[in-house]
């Protein structure tokens, strides 16, 4: 999470942010110094020169006592801003505690406060200001109170919403379990974590309060003579608007400019707060174009037996970041035979999911994908025109994501969404597409498919939604199904059913599948071949059956040894791997696993091993010192580190 400081800095970098900051700063300086410089001039009565229009001495003319209006305008900055800030302070001081109360009070008290906030929000705030202004009486104090009180409900609602989400977080739950008193939870846990958006809102509110204050003064409810703010000046000048319009324009312009300055500063801060990782220097985006040195074993895929369904060579995905270009996928190459079930395993930040996204050309902006070869079913994706590529991807490649809850549109019936694929890519009519959709739902063994097709995604369970996603992928008879953690959100018994379903799809249609998972046991059981990824590279390419008999890379072996399974010796501690995977922004030069590896030498730390065949088999490993033999029985000291 970035700090407020980062947010401020990036807010200042945008043109709006920079200009509004400068304007607000200028206004504050003016408010401080103007009364010292121009107070005398603003108060000097000059009876012969009363009610004059614009002149070189008096740029905005004079008032009914001959006082210089420009000087009065500048001097009024202090009072106008002070009253606006005071009003917001009143609003925040009433609203924020009110909004925070529901998190402190019990269920019933909280509900009462929430209803009160709802109730007070129902009043239009400008009417409330005028009503309160009239009730509280005429004058600056009353106006400040009126505006403050009318701003309070929106502060209360904002605080309430933000505080509610923080209050449901696990760290607040942990504090409750420890018995931390409620007021302390509020002060230490809730308020610091909601402060940032509330402060942003304060800035916005100052702009609003300034307008409202000027409005009240203008209609005579606010500041009273002999004091004056911009609204009062506007009020006094109104009578002469047809004779000397400049006298009224001055204060009007001041109100508008100040209001705009605070509003746009608030907007800029809010924008900066909501898009934290933004503000990437252009320079970094351009640097990307330098091609990566090819480091591919050329034998890849060329002779894969029945013609590969997918060939990937030197696939690289990189993102610009504050730390320079980071490259989470670093030149990976593999080929997928027709009908093959390929597993990709790795920990977080290994690049496995980005690899899947890159295959489907779904890497989000500003990520960049490059490859020396990227072919689906013999068609090169890189050289194709965009429309043809989209069509090919739409028909030949099916993606199944981890969370079936978010990958289906909640507002559309399941059948409609599936049928749409047939209409767009299969050129089917509405009826025929729907018939095919129901057929596909039956194919993925959905119970009563016709009824399910008429239901909305939220009416289906997680497993059924995942089936629906697979059915959608099958509409276009894909050559390759890419499934990224398709069962991680599901339960083991359902997981097994979904994996069996993917197998059945392969058997029925001859499609290949790539299963991406963090769970090496799932992958080993489901797939024919497994790619093990570490820090953006493939470190081992091994037949699934050989995973437990002879993995060659120390990482694969350590990973297998560290995961408990149903035969792990319960009397011994689990083997662990010291350290943690490297951050994508700081991947070591040599073998990325070397710092955690028990067998690493200086060679490993300096010189990165390429993926190369082990002995005469087609198992490939990126290691200078590949191991042989079965992984030692679980939790023996072979790899116990730390």
Cα distances from 27 to residues 35, 79, 258, 263, 279, in angstroms, run 13, 12, 7, 14, 27
State phi, psi for 149 to the nearest 5 degrees: -65, -35
Residue placing its CB nearer to other proteins in the complex, 155 or 526: 526
Least spacing, CB of residue 341 vs other proteins, in Å: 11
Least spacing, CB of residue 519 vs other proteins, in Å: 7
Least spacing, CB of residue 542 vs other proteins, in Å: 12
Q: According to CB under 8 A, which residues from 563 to 602 bind other proteins?
A: 563-566, 568, 570, 573-577, 580-581
State phi, psi for 13 to the nearest 5 degrees: -75, -25
Tokens of 50: 């009363």
SS (H, E, C) 160-205: HHHHHHHHCCHHHHHHHHHCCCHHHHHHHHHHHHHHHHHHHHHHHH
Q: According to CB under 8 A, which residues from 146 to 175 bind other proteins?
A: 169-171, 173-175
188 part of the interface to other proteins, by CB under 8 A = yes
Q: According to CB under 8 A, which residues from 192 to 251 bind other proteins?
A: 192-193
Least spacing, CB of residue 168 vs other proteins, in Å: 10
Least spacing, CB of residue 497 vs other proteins, in Å: 6
Segment holding 533, helix H or strand E:
strand 529-534
Size of the site for other proteins (CB under 8 A): 69
By the 8 A CB rule, do 547 and 520 touch?
yes
The C-alpha atoms of residue 510 and residue 130 are separated, in whole angstroms, by: 74
Least spacing, CB of residue 82 vs other proteins, in Å: 31
Residue placing its CB nearer to other proteins in the complex, 248 or 502: 502
Residue placing its CB nearer to other proteins in the complex, 26 or 574: 574
Neighbours of 25 (CB within 10 A): 12
Of 498, 476, 538, 482, the closest CA to residue 332 belongs to 538
51 part of the interface to other proteins, by CB under 8 A = no
Residue 97 CB burial class (10 angstroms; 0-12, 13-18, ≥19): middle
Least spacing, CB of residue 114 vs other proteins, in Å: 18
CB under 8 A: which stretch of 241-249, 263-271, 323-331, 492-500 binds other proteins? 492-500
Residue placing its CB nearer to other proteins in the complex, 125 or 495: 495
500 part of the interface to other proteins, by CB under 8 A = yes
Binding mask 255-284 for other proteins (x = CB under 8 A): ------------------------------
By the 8 A CB rule, do 456 and 414 touch?
yes
Residue placing its CB nearer to other proteins in the complex, 306 or 545: 545
Cα distances from 98 to residues 30, 125, 147, 153, in angstroms, run 34, 17, 17, 8
Residue placing its CB nearer to other proteins in the complex, 122 or 178: 178
Residue 585 CB burial class (10 angstroms; 0-12, 13-18, ≥19): middle
By the 8 A CB rule, do 99 and 156 touch?
yes
Tokens of 4: 């407020």
Residue 605 CB burial class (10 angstroms; 0-12, 13-18, ≥19): middle
503 part of the interface to other proteins, by CB under 8 A = yes
By the 8 A CB rule, do 304 and 283 touch?
no
389 part of the interface to other proteins, by CB under 8 A = no
605 part of the interface to other proteins, by CB under 8 A = no
- Partners of 341 in beta bridges: 513
464 part of the interface to other proteins, by CB under 8 A = yes
Least spacing, CB of residue 470 vs other proteins, in Å: 14
Least spacing, CB of residue 163 vs other proteins, in Å: 14
Tokens of 189: 């846990």
Q: Which residues contact 227 (CB under 8 A, 6 or more apart)?
A: 79, 140
Residue placing its CB nearer to other proteins in the complex, 477 or 638: 638
Binding mask 525-554 for other proteins (x = CB under 8 A): xx-----------------xx-xxx-----
Least spacing, CB of residue 85 vs other proteins, in Å: 26
Binding mask 319-358 for other proteins (x = CB under 8 A): ----------------------------xx----------
Residue placing its CB nearer to other proteins in the complex, 301 or 404: 404
Q: Return the CA Rg of the chain.
A: 34
Binding-site member from 13, 240, 442, 518 for other proteins (CB under 8 A): 518
Tokens of 26: 């200028």
Q: Which residues contact 128 (CB under 8 A, 6 or more apart)?
A: 146, 149, 150
Residue placing its CB nearer to other proteins in the complex, 231 or 351: 351
Least spacing, CB of residue 348 vs other proteins, in Å: 6
Binding-site member from 519, 588, 601, 638 for other proteins (CB under 8 A): 519
Residue placing its CB nearer to other proteins in the complex, 161 or 500: 500
Residue placing its CB nearer to other proteins in the complex, 122 or 566: 566
Residue placing its CB nearer to other proteins in the complex, 46 or 347: 347
Q: Where are the beta strands (DSSP E) in 197-307?
A: none
Neighbours of 257 (CB within 10 A): 12
Residue placing its CB nearer to other proteins in the complex, 432 or 574: 574
16 part of the interface to other proteins, by CB under 8 A = no
Residue placing its CB nearer to other proteins in the complex, 64 or 461: 461
The C-alpha atoms of residue 558 and residue 631 are separated, in whole angstroms, by: 8
State phi, psi for 264 to the nearest 5 degrees: -75, -30
506 part of the interface to other proteins, by CB under 8 A = no
Q: According to CB under 8 A, which residues from 110 to 149 bind other proteins?
A: none
Least spacing, CB of residue 356 vs other proteins, in Å: 18
Of 576, 551, 580, 552, the closest CA to residue 564 belongs to 576
β 480-484/397-400 pair status: parallel
Residue placing its CB nearer to other proteins in the complex, 207 or 346: 346
Residue placing its CB nearer to other proteins in the complex, 80 or 402: 402
Q: Which residues contact 168 (CB under 8 A, 6 or more apart)?
A: none
The C-alpha atoms of residue 624 and residue 610 are separated, in whole angstroms, by: 9
Least spacing, CB of residue 642 vs other proteins, in Å: 7
Of 334, 335, 371, 330, the closest CA to residue 351 belongs to 330
State phi, psi for 374 to the nearest 5 degrees: -150, 95
Binding site for other proteins (CB under 8 A): 1, 169-171, 173-181, 184, 188-189, 192-193, 347-348, 445, 447, 461-464, 489-497, 499-500, 503, 518-522, 524-526, 544-545, 547-549, 558-560, 562-566, 568, 570, 573-577, 580-581, 642
């Amino acid at each position: 999470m970035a700090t407020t400081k980062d947010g401020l800095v990036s807010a200042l970098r945008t043109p709006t942010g920079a200009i509004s900051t400068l304007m607000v700063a200028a206004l504050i300086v003016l408010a401080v110094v103007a009364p010292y410089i121009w107070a005398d001039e603003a108060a000097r009565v000059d009876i012969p020169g009363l009610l004059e229009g614009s002149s070189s001495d008096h740029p905005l003319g004079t008032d009914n006592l001959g006082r210089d209006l420009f000087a009065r305008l500048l001097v009024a900055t202090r009072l106008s801003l002070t009253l606006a800030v005071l009003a917001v302070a009143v609003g925040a001081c009433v609203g924020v505690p009110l909004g925070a109360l529901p998190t402190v009070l019990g269920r019933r008290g909280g509900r009462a406060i929430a209803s009160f906030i709802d109730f007070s929000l129902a009043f239009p705030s400008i009417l409330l200001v005028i009503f309160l202004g009239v009730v509280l009486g005429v004058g600056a104090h009353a106006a400040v109170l009126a505006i403050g009180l009318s701003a309070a409900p929106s502060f209360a609602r904002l605080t309430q919403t933000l505080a509610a989400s923080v209050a449901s977080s696990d760290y607040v739950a942990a504090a409750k379990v420890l018995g931390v008193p409620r007021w302390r939870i509020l002060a230490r846990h809730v308020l610091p974590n909601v402060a940032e958006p509330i402060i942003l809102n304060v800035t916005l509110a100052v702009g609003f309060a300034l307008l409202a204050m000027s409005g009240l003064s203008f209609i005579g409810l606010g500041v009273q003579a002999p004091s004056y703010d911009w609204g009062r000046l506007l009020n006094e000048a109104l009578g002469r608007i047809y004779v000397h319009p400049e006298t009224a324009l001055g204060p009007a312009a001041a109100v508008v400019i100040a209001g705009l300055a605070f509003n746009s500063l608030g907007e800029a801060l809010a924008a900066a707060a909501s898009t934290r990782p933004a503000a990437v220097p252009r320079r970094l985006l351009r640097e990307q174009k330098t091609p990566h040195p090819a480091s591919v074993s050329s034998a890849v895929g060329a002779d894969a037996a029945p013609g590969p369904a997918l060939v990937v060579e030197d696939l690289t995905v990189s993102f610009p970041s504050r730390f320079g270009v980071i490259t989470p996928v670093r030149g990976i190459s593999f080929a997928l035979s027709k009908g093959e079930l390929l597993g990709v395993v790795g920990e977080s930040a290994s690049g496995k999911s980005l690899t899947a996204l890159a295959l489907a050309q779904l890497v989000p902006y500003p990520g960049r994908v490059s490859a020396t070869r990227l072919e689906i079913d013999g068609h090169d994706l890189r050289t194709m025109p965009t429309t043809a590529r989209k069509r090919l991807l739409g028909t030949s490649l099916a993606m199944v994501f981890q969370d079936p809850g978010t990958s289906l549109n909640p507002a559309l019936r399941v059948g409609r969404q599936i049928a749409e694929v047939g209409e767009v890519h299969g050129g089917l009519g509405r009826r025929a597409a729907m018939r095919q959709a129901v057929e596909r739902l039956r194919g993925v063994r959905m119970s009563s498919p016709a009824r399910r097709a008429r239901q909305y995604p939220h009416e289906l369970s997680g497993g059924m939604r995942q089936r629906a996603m697979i059915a959608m992928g099958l509409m276009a008879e894909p050559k390759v199904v890419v499934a990224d953690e398709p069962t991680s959100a599901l339960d083991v018994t359902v997981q097994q059913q979904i994996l069996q379903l993917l197998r059945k799809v392969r058997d029925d249609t001859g499609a290949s599948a790539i299963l991406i998972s963090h769970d090496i046991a799932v992958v080993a059981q489901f797939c024919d071949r497994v790619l093990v990824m570490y820090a953006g590279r493939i470190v081992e390419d091994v037949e699934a059956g050989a995973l437990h008999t002879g993995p060659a890379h120390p990482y694969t072996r350590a990973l297998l040894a560290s995961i408990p399974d149903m035969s792990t010796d319960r009397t011994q501690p689990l083997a662990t791997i010291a350290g943690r995977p490297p951050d994508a922004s700081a991947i070591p030069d040599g073998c990325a696993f070397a710092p955690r590896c028990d067998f690493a030498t200086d060679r490993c730390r300096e010189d990165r091993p390429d993926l190369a065949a082990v002995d005469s088999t087609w198992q490939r490993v990126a290691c200078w010192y590949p191991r042989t033999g079965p992984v030692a029985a679980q939790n023996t000291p072979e790899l116990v580190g730390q």
